[in-house]
Amino acid sequence: MSKIVSPLALVLLLPLVALAAEPKRELLWPTGAPGAKGDAENDKPVVTVYLADGPNKTDCGVVVLPGGGYGHLALGHEGVDIANWYNSFGVSAFVVEYRHSGKGYAHPAPMQDAQRAIRMVRANAKEFGVSPNKIGVMGFSAGGHLASTVATHFDAGDASAEDPIQRVSSRPDFAILCYPVIAFDQPFTHRGSQKNLIGENADPELVKSLSNELQVTSDTPPTFLFHTSEDTGVPPQNSIVFYEALQKAKVPAEMHIFAKGRHGVGLAANIPGTNAWPKLCEAWMTGLGMLPAQADAGK
């Protein structure tokens, strides 16, 4: 039986509806992506822009990289759901549909797309209503590997570039890695992600350069990590080695390894204990100065 919603109820719902503007899809490379193999949809990486709105809007933005083993993209629970979660406490989100092996692409295409997304948000910070020094990157599983890649492989931009987006830095101001793939050629490596990204017999130097725990420096941005002990797809040792590298480099870091949850839990809404990670992450962002201290969003 359908329910009739009263006008008063509609008015009460309006603040919830106004948490975000209508999402908008934009091409990452309007004039063509580097190394594009054609002009089909698979050759055109896009970002969907979820701008926060309403009274709790902040000037923080996060580039979101869904997982999928570098062979597909989990755009639902690691993309749309995450963007809506960010919008709920005033953070704008930018979900990237980067190129991967399922679209016919390997390294460096995913890295190029992720770096481009960070530059795009920074170059258009005023339009998006975010601060150019409050732009983070977040990744899940293989997307976590990609997020750790752009957190350890970045540049200040090319001041002489014709494209204004390419003139700005690709360094994220913070990184959030969710059950990430990190190390390559290790007993705990997710072999499928490694194979899809660089093939089976990659040059050892390339393997080393994309084993991102080996690429951490004091310039790596502050990082939040979470994993679960029950994750057999991407074992928690991946987060542990990255955290240890951050500690060694004296980079501010926080890590949580929860008891329960298979690989790919997303927001983990129905997993007691593990479902604390979103609030812990929000608190970490606040402590980092990315969110206003008085923000009490999401309650």
51-92 pLDDT, tens digit per residue, is 999 899 999 999 999 999 999 999 999 999 999 999 999 999
Beta strands in 198-275 (DSSP E): 223-228, 253-258
pTM of the full predicted structure? 0.91
The pLDDT score that the predictor gives to residue 174 is 98
105-164 pLDDT, tens digit per residue, is 999 999 999 999 999 999 999 999 999 999 999 999 999 999 999 999 999 999 999 999
Tokens (6 digits) for 237: 């040792």
Mind listing the domains of the chain with CATH numbers? 23-287 (3.40.50.1820)
Is the CB of residue 228 less than 8 Å from the CB of residue 260? yes
% of the chain surpassing 70 pLDDT: 91
255-279 pLDDT, tens digit per residue, is 999 999 999 999 999 999 999 999 9
The pLDDT score that the predictor gives to residue 238 is 98
The pLDDT score that the predictor gives to residue 58 is 98
The pLDDT score that the predictor gives to residue 38 is 96
> To the nearest whole number, what is the mean pLDDT of the chain?
92
Residue 92, φ and ψ in degrees, nearest 5: -80, 145
Return the half-sphere exposure (C-beta side, CA atoms, 13 A cut-off) of residue 268: 25
pLDDT of 208 over the 60 cut: yes
Is the CB of residue 288 less than 8 Å from the CB of residue 100? no
In the block, tokens 């990486």 appear at: 45
Q: What angle do CA 107, 174, 67 make, to 5 degrees?
A: 40
